[in-house]
Structure 1
Amino acid sequence: MTPRDTTTGWSIIRQSLLDRRGPLTAGSVLLCLHQMCEVAVPILIGVIVDQAVDGGDLGALALWIGVLAGVFVALTTCYRLGARLGMNAALRQAHRLRMDAVRRILGPRRLRTDLRSGELLAVTGTDADETAALLRYLPQALGALAALAVCAVALLIIDVPLGLTVLFGVPLVLGLLQLSAPLLTRQTLDQQTRIARATGAATDLIAGLRPLRGIGAEDAAAQRYSAASRHALTAMRRTSAGQGAFMGAAIGVSAILAVAVATGAGWFALEGRISIGELITVLGLAQFFLEPLAMLSLLPGKAATARASAQRLALITDAEFAKPAGVSRLGPGPHGVEFRNVEYASLHGLSMIAKPGDCLGVVVTDQIDGTSIIDLLAGSATPHRGDVWVSDIPAAAADLTELPRALLVQPHLTDLFSGSLLHNVTTGAPAAAASDAAAALRAVAAADLIDSHPEGIDRMISDRGQSLSGGQRQRVALARALASDSSVLVLHDPTTSIDSVTERTVAAELYRRRHEGRSDHTTIVITSSPALLASADRVIFVDGGRVRGEGTHAELASADLRYREAVLR
């Protein structure tokens, strides 16, 4: 996927500069003062030689040394404060760019993008940092420009040809180096793209490691990642070679200019056109301006890197949303859910309703039907025909900021996060207390996770919950769903990794917490578990994408052979 508009990267950079214009302006002024003080050092040394050393005036020598010491104090202070402001601006802007991208990625409207999860991770990490790094460099570049300007003025005062050499030589050097900027941009963009692809391949490999082992496909997946990594390495080498050649040329040309100025000054000193102090000043300036000139010479490379990364960020910031912005308010609830003649994937005219307060079981003979129902309720898919309603509002028209709070869908495959057990349970309910999380865990028969560990509910969980068994991970995910206390809770096979005895306990606790003595919660469980179905108020049997029967679990089990085959173990 390539950027649709190459100017978009510059627009992100321009906005970043505007966002941080205050600290950048202050930092630029301070670094300009720092560089001016740096230029003043060889100038003052030349003045000291001419006015104090040459004449043997100890009073003047002490005075000028005091002035020189003051200049050193000023340049040190200005640099410390200016560099801090520039670094702070870059770090804060990188954080803002990262959070803006993450908000779009995780937003309820979902992005329409070809980037994989690993690539999105690389863009929000590396590319955000590289884009914002230009903000740290820009005040330094302005300071370098100020230093060269002061150098040129000082040399013009000492001798006009020397000053003109700098005045015309510096723009010529920078202009020639700027010609390489488009090539550096293309190389950096290709490098960042290939790194993101390698990151995406690595993420896919780690996420699917267990299934890959199950089918013996680890070698094929590893070869796929290895190929992506080699392509990234080739791109990085190409970019590094280009940037190295650029830096070598910049330093070489700058050195030639400095040698030309120093040689001219030596010749003029031999002719008596400039004094010994002025010669010392010119030699000091010629040696000094190599640094600011090299700093400015790096500007095309820095800008190319920032632009390439900003264009990668634009793939997220400019990506279209997959879902329209809903405007209809759902209200506090209670809510129900209704499928009205829905056609999607394997569903053929599916019509069913879960009224407010219902505990509804759904049995499907084809797992694709269950996945399709989950996708529609989660909003990751849109019906080809018909509508899914939440209360009296089509789900597609509901306010997307309210819909996740009113309707929580937990698919069969869920992830846990690295962090504490408490954090994992309260992720969907930040206001929940530790006691609420503990109660949810006990409700799903996961009290052993608290009681068997010295840190209790604060025990740490590894990434994706790998430190837990499959059944423990499933129970923690179910506890997280219960702790959210959502008006409508949809579960898909929530107990497949739990033994039958524990499953009956979980089914009873699930009903008790959400429905016993209350009618403000609606629960839909897509499952073939007899324990969960027996605790439901009603069960809907879906066969061939349509509703085949409806009733209690006992009624359907006694009357429908297909149902018995689907659920009885």
Structure 2
Amino acid sequence: MGDGLLRPALRRQRGRLTAGVAFLCLHQAAEAMVPVTIGVVIDRAVATSDTGALLLSLAGLVVLFTVLSLAWRFGARFSTAAKEHEAHLARVRIAERALDPCGQKSGLRDGELLSVAASDADRSARAIRTVGAAAAACTALLVSAAALVMVDPGLGVGVLVGVPLVLMGLQRLAPLLTRRSEAQQASLAETSALAVDLVAGLRVLRGIGAQHHAAGRFAAASRGALTDTLRAATTKGLHLGLTSTVNGLLLAAVTGAAGWLALNGRITVGELVAVVGLAQFIAEPVQTLGWCVQSLATARASARRVARILHTAPAVRPGTESAPPPAGERIVLSDLRYGTLTGLNLRISAGETVGIVAYDPRDAEALLAVLAGTVPREDYRGTVRIDGAPAESLRLTQSRRVVLVEPHDVALFEGTLRENLAAGGAGDDGTLLAAIRVAAAEDVLHHNGLDQVLTERGANLSGGQRQRVALARAVAAAPPVLVLHEPTTAVDAVTEALIAERLTEARREPPQATVMVTSSPALLRAAGRVLVLDDGRIRAEGSHDDLVSAEPTYREAVLR
């Protein structure tokens, strides 16, 4: 799976990659020629005391180092650009997949998705630089071997045979490196996900005195991540140690052989200097190839995690049809069976306000999930129709333009109040201010109006203010059908009654349907009809006052 992600990445960046590889290979070839050039200078200028040859040789060295420097500069620039462009593309694709209205079945939590986008996307893109580094290292070895062959065929053949054998031996550790790198990344992502969950629920944890238990869970997860990290580091250290050891042995063998040849008069002093310099230089590309093995193993492990997100099936497979013309009955649920729902029948007409009281919270969650379009068609039985068309036949964006489900859990973002309210689709300030009035959230405007800055998750607002801002955002979107789930649990009774009055008035013209899944008496009293959801189906229907008089269980559930 990881290789299937890396190969297309290399193809996408082939232009920058080709340029980067060409310059890096030129750099390594020029660097390999440095000891050779010095050896030639010794034999043809220093040993012969030829001043003209010495000056010419020095000029040649200046040119060589200029080429070497510029080739590295441009090679690194093109390779880094290719890597960063691919990392950016991977992050964007991960974000698109995570934010896809259809959802995804990767099973990763928010913190894990964040870890993949921030860390694994970058690590997987390093494969591009690894390819360039490996090509440059191979070029260095080939040029060095060719130079050694010209000095003595035995030395060149020894390098050409010895280095591949060394690399084949080091490659044996690559699968283990990949597995341990993948385990390390998974542990770190799990720890990040737990941290995100704990920070999000910190107030609740403090309220129930469970922060010490939460800290213990995080410490245990962190210890597991530490263990996996140390295991990966141990394997990498072993690989690096073996690479360095073999490097040293190869250097000693080449240098020793060259020294023996020089003592026997088979090579000159300049050639000896060139061979010793090349032997020292060869250690660098061999070390680089060892690093490439590690880097590629890590990149493949991260690519598998990225591919898990990009290639996972969508949670919901939407249809392809556009929304039909508005019908008198905007939503019709017939014999719906999902979760704890056991044959629910529900009709929501245009312009009406309906209250739904669910004795079992699981019934409410199941109903909201179906109305929000987050349940795959194969997971429920019965039919769901929007404006007369089967919900599964419509594009998800089309169905959600008709039905907007505002969940109980408030999600506000760092930014201005205007930006948070406009996220619902509304534009001009007049619409936003009218929605704030409907939600009785005028107190949020007291400091800077719509330019009031909200911190992350709206932490600088009270619980009631956050609920009212979220309600205002939903009202500002003006959906034909607005579904609210307990929108006023953090609001006092007087404000709650004001919201109920303003909400029904605001959505009366043009006629828009409002469904309130709630146990609030103020909201239920404002509803045109109230449905009682019990044991997975509608058990009673009527006005709030009639149900209070006739249904003892209803009375106990809603009166507080």
Return the TM-score normalized by structure 1: 0.91
Letter in 1 for 2:384: V
Matches for 1:326-475 after TM superposition, within 5 Å: 326-331=319-324, 333=326, 336-381=330-375, 384-429=380-425, 432-433=427-428, 436-453=431-448, 456-475=449-468
- Are residues 1:310 and 2:324 paired? no
Q: How far 1:554 moved relative to its partner?
A: 5.0
Range with bigger deviation, 507-516 or 176-185: 507-516
Letter in 2 for 1:67: G
- Cα pair distance change 1:533/1:288, threshold 3 Å: same
Letter in 2 for 1:447: E
Q: How far 1:439 moved relative to its partner?
A: 4.2
Matches for 1:60-459 after TM superposition, within 5 Å: 60-331=53-324, 333=326, 336-381=330-375, 384-429=380-425, 432-433=427-428, 436-453=431-448, 456-459=449-452
Q: How far 1:534 moved relative to its partner?
A: 3.9
- Cα pair distance change 1:156/1:428, threshold 3 Å: farther
- Cα pair distance change 1:111/1:146, threshold 3 Å: same
- Cα pair distance change 1:154/1:215, threshold 3 Å: same
- Are residues 1:531 and 2:519 paired? no
- Are residues 1:26 and 2:25 paired? no
Aligned length: 557
- CA offsets per residue over residues 380-436 of structure 1, 9 Å max, x none? 34664322221112223322232233321111112222333333222332x734554
- Cα pair distance change 1:515/1:84, threshold 3 Å: farther
- Cα pair distance change 1:67/1:402, threshold 3 Å: farther
Tell whether the 8 Å contact from 1:425 to 1:437 is kept in structure 2 after alignment.
yes
Return the TM-score normalized by structure 2: 0.92
Aligned with 1:42 (options 35, 40, 51): 35
Q: How far 1:305 moved relative to its partner?
A: 0.9
State the alpha-carbon separation in 1 of the partners of residues 381 and 253 from structure 2: 78
- CA offsets per residue over residues 303-349 of structure 1, 9 Å max, x none? 11111122222332343333233233214747711221223334333
Tell whether the 8 Å contact from 2:324 to 2:389 is kept in structure 1 after alignment.
no
Letter in 2 for 1:342: L
Question: 3-state SS of the aligned residue for 1:62?
Answer: helix
State the alpha-carbon separation in 2 of the partners of residues 467 and 568 from structure 1: 32
Range with bigger deviation, 538-547 or 489-498: 538-547
Question: 3-state SS of the aligned residue for 1:361?
Answer: strand
Range with bigger deviation, 370-379 or 247-256: 370-379
Question: 3-state SS of the aligned residue for 2:507?
Answer: helix
Question: 3-state SS of the aligned residue for 1:336?
Answer: strand
Tell whether the 8 Å contact from 2:324 to 2:387 is kept in structure 1 after alignment.
no
State the alpha-carbon separation in 1 of the partners of residues 227 and 249 from structure 2: 33
Q: How far 1:107 moved relative to its partner?
A: 2.1
Question: 3-state SS of the aligned residue for 1:494?
Answer: coil
Range with bigger deviation, 321-330 or 405-414: 321-330
Range with bigger deviation, 527-536 or 405-414: 527-536
Tell whether the 8 Å contact from 1:328 to 1:393 is kept in structure 2 after alignment.
no
Q: Which residue of 2 aligns with 1:5?
A: none
Q: Which residue of 2 aligns with 1:59?
A: 52
Q: How far 1:157 moved relative to its partner?
A: 1.0
State the alpha-carbon separation in 1 of the partners of residues 31 and 309 from structure 2: 43
Q: Which residue of 2 aligns with 1:3?
A: none
Letter in 1 for 2:391: A
Q: How far 1:449 moved relative to its partner?
A: 2.4
Matches for 1:510-549 after TM superposition, within 5 Å: 510-516=503-509, 518-519=510-511, 521-549=512-540
- Cα pair distance change 1:75/1:460, threshold 3 Å: farther
Q: % of aligned pairs identical?
A: 44
Letter in 1 for 2:409: L
- CA offsets per residue over residues 428-469 of structure 1, 9 Å max, x none? 32x73455444433442323323324xx43443332222221
State the alpha-carbon separation in 2 of the partners of residues 497 and 101 from structure 1: 35
Letter in 1 for 2:31: E
Letter in 2 for 1:399: R
Tell whether the 8 Å contact from 1:540 to 1:551 is kept in structure 2 after alignment.
yes
Q: How far 1:159 moved relative to its partner?
A: 1.5
Letter in 2 for 1:379: G
Gaps of 5+ in 1: 1-7
Letter in 1 for 2:403: L
- Are residues 1:16 and 2:9 paired? yes
- Cα pair distance change 1:36/1:437, threshold 3 Å: farther
Q: How far 1:269 moved relative to its partner?
A: 2.3
Range with bigger deviation, 66-75 or 100-109: 100-109
Range with bigger deviation, 148-157 or 283-292: 283-292
Question: 3-state SS of the aligned residue for 2:347?
Answer: strand
Tell whether the 8 Å contact from 2:144 to 2:278 is kept in structure 1 after alignment.
yes
Q: How far 1:204 moved relative to its partner?
A: 2.8
Letter in 1 for 2:447: S
State the superposition RMSD in angstroms. Answer: 2.5
Question: 3-state SS of the aligned residue for 2:343?
Answer: strand
Question: 3-state SS of the aligned residue for 1:128?
Answer: helix
State the alpha-carbon separation in 2 of the partners of residues 23 and 32 from structure 1: 14
Tell whether the 8 Å contact from 1:360 to 1:524 is kept in structure 2 after alignment.
yes
- Cα pair distance change 1:150/1:376, threshold 3 Å: same
Letter in 1 for 2:180: Q
Q: How far 1:174 moved relative to its partner?
A: 0.7
- CA offsets per residue over residues 10-38 of structure 1, 9 Å max, x none? 11111221221221111111111111121
